[in-house]
Amino acid sequence: MKYPAAVRLVEVGPRDGLQNEAAMVPTDVKVELIERLADAGLPAVEATSFVSPKWVPQMGDAAEVMARIRRKPGVSYPVLVPNMKGLEAAIAARAEEVAVFAAATESFSRKNINCSIDESIDRFAPVCETALAKGLRVRGYVSVVVGCPYEGDVDPQAVAHVAKRLFDLGCYEVSLGDTTGMGTPARTQRMIEAVARQVPVEKLGGHFHDTFGQALGNILASMDLGVATFDCSVAGLGGCPYSPGATGNVATEDVLYLLDGLGVKTGVDMTKLAQAGEFICQAIDRPNASRAGRALAARARRQAA
């Protein structure tokens, strides 16, 4: 098994995690979470999304979040934008990095952003062009890269095709989202091999959800093929509150425990990260979905007793 000397962890909890919370999370809490995550050494903390508040009410305070966070030098705070309106709002909020998000299946594209895959690429073209012309960095996402909740198994070639289109629009990296968590290490490798024939593997990120408990295995399988960027969510934030059994993104604490154990450098401090996880779980009254996070919190309680 091969693995890189260093991995870049992109923390997506404040956006991908919190966007699913049914009860509105106070802006103060979001700001403190983002600052704690940056202070833990994460090089990128996806802060929020400039999407329609009718579609995702939880992200309706995007401008306020961006205005209030203390920005740590060297840390990137990407925000999702689905269209020009979102980009304009992100620029007004002094975002330096934006992310556009497409899907590998027509059904998911329609459900998520209300348009076909082709229409989404047409919509992203001016977004990417304008953002790049203004000196912003643009990241791309492809959702449902292994399994789709509406169409089932996804053809790796379809993923490769969409990833290439985002890369050609100028995305510096394309994050491959196993949105449903249906991936296994073997399926993940088949998908990455197909995509890497279209987009250089060092320009790919892995974005795994732990619904079937396969996320860490999928990360190892991805590293074996040369992927060195992974999205993760503190305390495993995410999942749908109305879908029993659905879980969130792979927990940052679990990924860090794996990488620390392999001697792979990330620059992230486990103690501060675990404290950020406990902070958000207490603030929104949610159990900590990270096994490493729970174990570390229990150890800290024993030591304090």
Site for ligand HMG, rule CB under 6 A:
16, 19, 49-52, 54-56, 80, 82-83, 85-86, 89, 101, 112-114, 141, 143, 177, 179, 207
Q: Which residue is nearest to ligand HMG (CB)?
A: 177
Beta carbon nearer to ligand HMG, 72 or 123: 123
Respond yes or no: is residue 115 known to be catalytic. Answer: no
Q: How far is the CB of 267 from Mg ion (least distance, A)?
A: 22
Interface positions, 245-274, toward Mg ion (CB under 5 A): 249
The nearer residue to ligand HMG, 75 or 93, going by C-beta atoms, is 93
Cα separation, 269 vs 254, whole angstroms: 13
Q: Structure tokens of 62?
A: 């995007």
What one-character DSSP code corresponds to residue 142? E
Min separation Cβ 83 and ligand HMG, Å = 5
Count of residues that bind Mg ion according to CB under 5 A: 2
Nearer to Mg ion, 16 or 254 (CB): 16
Site string for Mg ion, 230-249 (x = CB under 5 A): -------------------x
Tokens of 305: 């007793």
Phi then psi for residue 238, to 5 deg, are 130, -170
Which residue type sits at 89? A
- Asked if 16 interacts with Mg ion (CB under 5 A), we say yes
Distances (CA, A) of 182 to 12, 161, 217: 19, 20, 12
Q: Smallest gap, in angstroms, from Cβ of residue 25 to ligand HMG?
A: 15
**Considering CB distances under 5 to 8 angstroms, the limit depending on partner class, which of Mg ion, ligand HMG, none binds residue 83?**
ligand HMG
What SS3 state is found at 32? Answer: helix
Cα atoms found within 13 Å of the Cα of residue 94, Cβ hemisphere only: 8
| Rounded least distance, CB 291 to ligand HMG, Å | 20
- The interface partner of residue 114, options being Mg ion, ligand HMG, none and the CB cut-off 5 to 8 Å by kind, is ligand HMG
* Residue 173 binds Mg ion, judged by CB under 5 A: no
Q: How far is the CB of 295 from Mg ion (least distance, A)?
A: 24
Using a 10 angstrom Cβ sphere, with 0-12 exposed, 13-18 middle and 19 or more buried, the burial of residue 111 is: middle
Per DSSP, the chain holds a count of helices (H) and strands (E) of 11, 11
Residue 85 contact, options ligand HMG, Mg ion, none, Cβ 5-8 Å cut-off depending on partner type: ligand HMG
Count Cβ atoms below 10 Å from residue 225 Cβ, excluding itself.
16
Counting every residue written for the chain, the total comes to: 305
141/167 with CB nearer ligand HMG:
141
The residue type found at 33 is L
Task: Point out which span in 15-23, 37-45, 120-128, 278-286 binds Mg ion (CB under 5 A).
Answer: 15-23
Residue among 20 and 157 whose Cβ is closer to Mg ion: 20
Contact criterion met (CB below 8 Å) for 164 and 203: no
- Catalytic: which of 115, 171, 240, 281? 240
CB of 20 to Mg ion, least distance (A): 9
CB 198 within 8 A of CB 145: no
Angle (deg, nearest 10), helices 106-113 and 117-133: 60
Residue (248 or 293) nearer to ligand HMG, CB: 248
DSSP-derived 3-state class of residue 147: strand
Nearest of 76, 51, 71 to residue 61 by alpha carbon: 51
Known catalytic residues are 240
State the residues that interact with Mg ion by CB under 5 A: 16, 249
